[in-house]
Amino acid sequence: MNLLDNDIKFVSGVGEVRAKLLAKEIGVRTVRDMLYHFPFRYIDRTKIYKIGELNEANSSGGYIQIRARVTGKNFFGEGRSQRFVIYVSDDTGKAELIWFRGIKWIENKFELGREYLIFGRPSFYRSELSLVHPEVEPIEAALMRKEHSSLQGIYSTTEKLSTALGTKGMYNIIGKILERLDGNVADYMPDYLRQHYGLISLEQALRNIHQPQSPAMLKQAQYRLKFDELFGIQLNIQTLRSARTTARAGFHFGRVGEYFNAFYNTRLPFPLTGAQKRVIKEIRTDTISGCQMNRLLQGDVGSGKTVVALISMILAVDNGYQACMMAPTEILARQHYATIVKLVGDIGLRVGILTGTTKAKERRQTLEALSAGEIDILVGTHALLEDRVQFSNLGFVVIDEQHRFGVEQRARLWTKNNNPPHILVMTATPIPRTLAMMIYGDLDISVIDELPPGRQPIKTLHYYDSARLRLFGFMREQIAQGRQIYIVYPLIKESEKADYANLEEGFAAIVRDFPLPKYRVSACHGKMKPEDKEESMRQFKCGEADILVATSVIEVGVDVPNATVMVIESAERFGLAQLHQLRGRVGRGANQSYCILLSDEKLSKESRTRLEAMCETTDGFRLAELDLQLRGAGDINGTQQSGEVLDFKIANPAQDNQILQVAQQAAIALLTADPDLSEPQHQSLRVLKARYSRNKDIDFSVIS
């Protein structure tokens, strides 16, 4: 067995208990896992600061080293809240070293008057330097010690883990592994590719990512490991892409028939924007190509994706096929259904709806009509995925708000006809192109980058909580003018009690400050019964309520053109993508709209950047780029979305665009020469490819 496959517990100094903890806390089970747990930053261990030169500005967030003498010690508090402080100083200033745990163990390690090398993360209180749980070594020992490298990696860890391992635990384990690495790392990258792309060996890369010999070697190691990650993903994406465009036959929508003409000539209430026309053309081209379409339509909120989807579905019907449209929530499905019924009017299209709450009798009728071919367009929720939903001839599928659905669900729709239907996935979450290429690499991408004419840009303002009274005055004015208002509270997890307490308090306060009979307030959140939720939404939609107090359940797609104010409470707790989505709920009518971001006065730098960006721009793509830079790719769609969240260990698509380009070209070139990696020298690359396969859940055998 290869060393890397060994259970981590066999590495000396680990053992059962720590192994369990490593698995639980950071998912490390094997030696390989540990080796691929890369430092997230490096510090220069040769640099020793003077206490006097450190301040909040020049050392925030980083780790530093000082060399100082112990001048005293003291205990504060008792029991669990006990704190142990060591006072140190050098010739430029004083500092405090603080421990909350492991005090017994640490307290006798220090001698008064002796000098130590102290390493840790600085914090400042009234410009006094302190270090919590620093790493401390007598200076003589520190100077004797020969470092493997002047750059020391900093590993992400958890509180439990760092307590159990001690400050040096992770280094020791890694060190033990690296000692035995020689010849144990099989490099799956063939020599000729390594040479061609200037990559160091995998073993060298793994050594240097943990214990860099030099800054230059660290760079090379990072390049190699990022390349592997991006190349591995690209091998998968490019395989999917070529499988789709070469092998899979698609329905041919050759005709532009009576429904389309009737709709276009008599029903369409507005001229299409240039962008809408372009996208419809792209879909037309796909659906007469003979191959199955898998297209992602990105368009900011309010850009008019629905009508594009509808026209595409009508084209399917004109060619004798059925179409369906799947929305992520009941509310949205019903809204789409209503919109579509209204838009198509009496041109003879048969439109149905199916959701989780459809009554048994109605459901039976709908299912029968569907399989008999008596429904042309079916709108619904996840309920459409159930096996009992049988179409007579499904040819076109629209999926709204893709990020709520996983790849697997998309694939399930493919099996609803002998051939996979064409698929149009729509999202209002603008995704930077580089990232979209990776997340949706098996999809072609269309973009609606133009809003329908006559929209006034939404004004976005950031208020501190203390300005609430002024805000209420403004809200009253808007309501007096006949407008409606959303107030949204954060909800991180549907189960978090505190969030509901927030919302309930907020609701009570609003009802108090906006009393009946003048003001009508309704509420909508995930804990309400679907009927009640529906009723609240209905009241707001038809203007029976002036204010809707809600959690972010209203985030996607809800359309109330008369609502002109979006108030977001604790806006600092939302991600940029979500803020942008929420803002898109207003600005849908002719009146000037406003988005008010309320926040605490104390804001982290990142939250402030987010709120400022929101006030500065309404361009979803710019915000998405920024979001990507702020948060990295792993979390791009927010925390609660399933499916295609990327899991990069080292590459960062916001910064590594160039490596991505090279890796993509490399993957294309390789697969062109050897599509299924069957040549002997490429066998090992299958391992790499498998490791980064995110689409394991699609079983292609069902379709081809």
Interface ranges with Mg ion (CB under 5 A): 557
Nearest to ligand ADP of 48, 272 (CB atom): 272
Choose among Mg ion, ligand ADP, none what residue 304 binds, the Cβ cut-off being 5 to 8 Å by kind: ligand ADP
Nearest to Mg ion of 84, 540 (CB atom): 540
Binding mask 384-423 for ligand ADP (x = CB under 6 A): ----------------------------------------
Choose among Mg ion, ligand ADP, none what residue 149 binds, the Cβ cut-off being 5 to 8 Å by kind: none
Q: Which residue is nearest to ligand ADP (CB)?
A: 304
For ligand ADP, which stretch binds (CB under 6 A), given 8-16, 33-41, 296-304, 534-542? 296-304
Token representation of residue 123: 């914090």
Q: How far is CA 487 from CA 524, 534, 576, 611, 615, in A?
A: 10, 17, 17, 17, 18
Regarding 299 and contact with ligand ADP (CB under 6 A), the answer is: yes
CA 650/CA 147 separation, integer angstroms: 24
Question: Closest distance between ligand ADP and the C-beta of residue 300, in Å?
Answer: 7
Choose among Mg ion, ligand ADP, none what residue 559 binds, the Cβ cut-off being 5 to 8 Å by kind: ligand ADP
Neighbours of 377 (CB within 10 A): 24
Give SS3 for 137: strand
Token representation of residue 151: 């750059």
Give SS3 for 145: coil
Choose among ligand ADP, Mg ion, none what residue 270 binds, the Cβ cut-off being 5 to 8 Å by kind: ligand ADP
Contact 94, 72 (CB under 8 A): no
Contact 426, 400 (CB under 8 A): yes
Question: Closest distance between ligand ADP and the C-beta of residue 559, in Å?
Answer: 5
Question: Closest distance between ligand ADP and the C-beta of residue 448, in Å?
Answer: 7
Choose among Mg ion, ligand ADP, none what residue 322 binds, the Cβ cut-off being 5 to 8 Å by kind: none
CA 45/CA 172 separation, integer angstroms: 16
Choose among Mg ion, ligand ADP, none what residue 272 binds, the Cβ cut-off being 5 to 8 Å by kind: ligand ADP
Question: Closest distance between Mg ion and the C-beta of residue 306, in Å?
Answer: 5
Regarding 564 and contact with ligand ADP (CB under 6 A), the answer is: no
Question: Closest distance between Mg ion and the C-beta of residue 100, in Å?
Answer: 50
| Residue the block writes with tokens 């060619």 | 319
Choose among Mg ion, ligand ADP, none what residue 138 binds, the Cβ cut-off being 5 to 8 Å by kind: none
Which long-range contacts link 25-32 to residues 24+ away (Cβ below 8 Å)? 25/157, 25/158, 25/160, 25/161, 26/156, 26/157, 26/158, 26/161, 30/4, 30/5, 30/6, 31/3, 31/4, 31/5, 31/6, 31/7, 31/177, 32/4, 32/5
DSSP single-letter state for residue 193: H
Nearest to ligand ADP of 35, 280 (CB atom): 280
Contact 182, 212 (CB under 8 A): no
Give the residues across from 84 on adjacent strands: 75, 99
Q: How far is CA 431 from the centre of its chain?
A: 10
Regarding 305 and contact with ligand ADP (CB under 6 A), the answer is: yes
Q: How far is CA 163 from CA 35, 80, 159, 160, 511, in A?
A: 21, 15, 6, 5, 48
Closest residue by Cα to residue 428 from 517, 544, 296: 296
Question: Closest distance between Mg ion and the C-beta of residue 577, in Å?
Answer: 15
Q: What residues from 428 to 447 belong to the interface with ligand ADP (CB under 6 A)? A: 428
Give SS3 for 454: coil
For ligand ADP, which stretch binds (CB under 6 A), given 301-309, 593-601, 636-644, 684-692? 301-309
Burial of 64 by CB count in 10 Å (0-12 exposed, 13-18 middle, 19+ buried)?
buried
Burial of 429 by CB count in 10 Å (0-12 exposed, 13-18 middle, 19+ buried)?
buried
CA 521/CA 248 separation, integer angstroms: 53
CA 690/CA 701 separation, integer angstroms: 17
Answer for which of 559, 569, 572, 627 binds ligand ADP (CB under 6 A) is 559
Nearest to ligand ADP of 157, 552 (CB atom): 552
Nearest to Mg ion of 234, 306 (CB atom): 306
Nearest to ligand ADP of 273, 502 (CB atom): 273
Q: How far is CA 256 from CA 186, 325, 419, in A?
A: 57, 20, 21
Q: What residues from 452 to 481 belong to the interface with ligand ADP (CB under 6 A)? A: 452
Give the residues across from 521 on adjacent strands: 547
Question: Closest distance between ligand ADP and the C-beta of residue 557, in Å?
Answer: 6
Answer for which of 152, 239, 306, 402 binds ligand ADP (CB under 6 A) is 306
Q: How is 456-494 classified by DSSP, letter by letter?
A: PPPEEEEEEGGGHHHHHHHHHHHHHTT-EEEEEE--SST
Regarding 307 and contact with ligand ADP (CB under 6 A), the answer is: yes
Burial of 181 by CB count in 10 Å (0-12 exposed, 13-18 middle, 19+ buried)?
middle
Regarding 351 and contact with ligand ADP (CB under 6 A), the answer is: no
Question: Closest distance between Mg ion and the C-beta of residue 560, in Å?
Answer: 13
Nearest to ligand ADP of 426, 659 (CB atom): 426
| Residue the block writes with tokens 């492991």 | 102
Regarding 335 and contact with ligand ADP (CB under 6 A), the answer is: no
Answer for which of 11, 283, 301, 411 binds ligand ADP (CB under 6 A) is 301
Question: Closest distance between Mg ion and the C-beta of residue 398, in Å?
Answer: 10
Nearest to Mg ion of 232, 557 (CB atom): 557
Choose among ligand ADP, Mg ion, none what residue 134 binds, the Cβ cut-off being 5 to 8 Å by kind: none
Choose among Mg ion, ligand ADP, none what residue 301 binds, the Cβ cut-off being 5 to 8 Å by kind: ligand ADP
Contact 560, 585 (CB under 8 A): yes
Contact 431, 439 (CB under 8 A): yes
Q: What residues from 249 to 288 belong to the interface with ligand ADP (CB under 6 A)? A: 270, 272-273, 276
Q: How far is CA 362 from CA 316, 338, 367, in A?
A: 25, 17, 9
Binding mask 572-611 for ligand ADP (x = CB under 6 A): ----------------x-----------------------
Question: Closest distance between Mg ion and the C-beta of residue 557, in Å?
Answer: 4
Question: Closest distance between ligand ADP and the C-beta of residue 581, in Å?
Answer: 10
Regarding 328 and contact with ligand ADP (CB under 6 A), the answer is: no
Q: Residues in contact with ligand ADP, total (CB under 6 A)? A: 16
For ligand ADP, which stretch binds (CB under 6 A), given 34-42, 237-245, 299-307, 539-547? 299-307
Where on the chain is the footprint of ligand ADP (CB under 6 A)? 270, 272-273, 276, 299, 301-307, 428, 452, 559, 588
